[in-house]
Structures are given as C-alpha cells and as structure tokens.
A and B are shown apart, each in its own frame.
Chain A
Amino acid sequence: AQKVTQAQTEISVVEKEDVTLDCVYETRDTTYYLFWYKQPPSGELVFLIRRNSFDEQNEISGRYSWNFQKSTSSFNFTITASQVVDSAVYFCALDFNKFYFGSGTKLNVKP
C-alpha cells in the first residue's frame, strides 16, 4: 500500500512564480514524522524540513513554507518566487516505523 503519495510527477514554472508541491501520506499511527528532501541534478539528497505529528504549526523558512494538515493527511510544500536553482526533484517522506519516500515531484523552473 502506498504510504506517501506525490501525485504531481513533474511541474514546470517560470522563474518568480509560486509553486506548491503536494504530499499525502497514510498511517494509522498517532506518532509519526514527515520530511521533505531535495535532490538536485547532481544527485545528492538534501534535507529540507522535519515535522512531527503533534506539531501542526506551519513553517516558513525564507522562500520555503510548509503546510501540515492532519485532517487531510497532507504535508504540502510551497516555494515562493521560484528560482532556477530550485529546479530539482523533491521528495516527501514518512517515518512511523520504517522510512517511506514518495515517488518525487520533478520541478523545472525556467528563466
């Protein structure tokens, strides 16, 4: 069963546009952790954010923001005023027993 769903396979935007990457997760546990990672074209994985299931406060870090809603089991990621350097594959991940990654959303930011 799919634990983490990233329905958007690929998104293309023009620089300075805002873009939201969707993440829907599935778990019966009450305690779990959600993550976003970035994988630029060079291939490494870069940690972006971690959120535990008891903390539904949204978070903003510069141009990045995250919206966690337990009611809809979603943990969406928004990039404001996108830049070409944001072009990458973004993965949402869930940790409730083992670690599960979504299939990723490839973001193309065009100049």
Chain B
Amino acid sequence: NAGVTQTPKFRILKIGQSMTLQCTQDMNHNYMYWYRQDPGMGLKLIYYSVGAGITDKGEVPNGYNVSRSTTEDFPLRLELAAPSQTSVYFCASSSSRGNYNEQFFGPGTRLTVL
C-alpha cells in the first residue's frame, strides 16, 4: 500500500494564479482531511470529508475549495493564490472517528505564493 500520496511536492505560484493539490489514499478510508502548517506552527484544518460526496469546512476554509467524487481522491483547489497561502499542506485519511481515528498523513506539499 502506498498510503496517502500527495502531488506535487513543491510548487511556486504567482499571486492570483490557481492550482489543485492532489491527494489520493489507497486504504479505503472514509475520512479525509486537508491541513495547512505555517512555519513554526501546528496544523490547522482546512476542509474534511466523511465520505464521497460529503465535505465540510474546518478552521481555515477561506480561499480554498474541495470536492470528493471518489473514496480515494480528495483534491484541494486554490482559486486566487495569495501570499498568505504560503504554507505546507498535508492531506490525511482515517478509517473512522473515535478509537480508530488514527490519521495517516501524506508527505506534504510545500507551496510558495510570490
């Protein structure tokens, strides 16, 4: 199993550009999450999904959009990139909530907006 994969690993965007961060998991997990980690800070939840077709906002959703058309994929869309979105983005998945809610994380995407 590859676990959680993210592409790209690195990206530089100009202000106002758009892009999609890809996330795929092969563990058949229902729950998927997107976090951002600013330098020297903890992770903040952007969006999450409890299953295909169902998404919900986290702590910091502004400036982002998500979709979940399949169990495996959970892409994160930035429409109008801003310097404040410079961060490392982590995707994660888990099989359920509660006692089995260990989240498996992808390796991260380092995004710089100039």
Contacts and interface: CB of A to CB of B under 8 A. Distances in A.
Interface residues of B, number: 23
Interface stretch (B16-24, B76-84, B100-108): B100-108
Interface stretch (A56-64, A67-75, A79-87, A101-109): A101-109
B53 interface: no
B40 to A, nearest CB: 8
A43 interface: yes
A99 B33 contact: yes
Given A44-B105, A52-B98, A52-B99, A102 B88 contact: no
Nearest to B98: A33
Interface string A83-94: 000000001000
A45 interface: yes
A19 B108 CA distance: 29
B59 A98 contact: yes
Contacts of B58: 98-99
Contacts of B104: 47
A44 B107 contact: yes
B45 interface: yes
B101 A95 contact: yes
Interface in A39-56: 43-45, 47, 50, 52
Given A33-B97, A45-B92, A101-B43, 17 more contacts: A33-B99, A33-B101, A43-B107, A43-B108, A44-B105, A47-B103, A47-B104, A50-B101, A50-B102, A91-B43, A98-B48, A99-B48, A99-B58, A101-B35, A101-B42, A101-B44, A102-B42
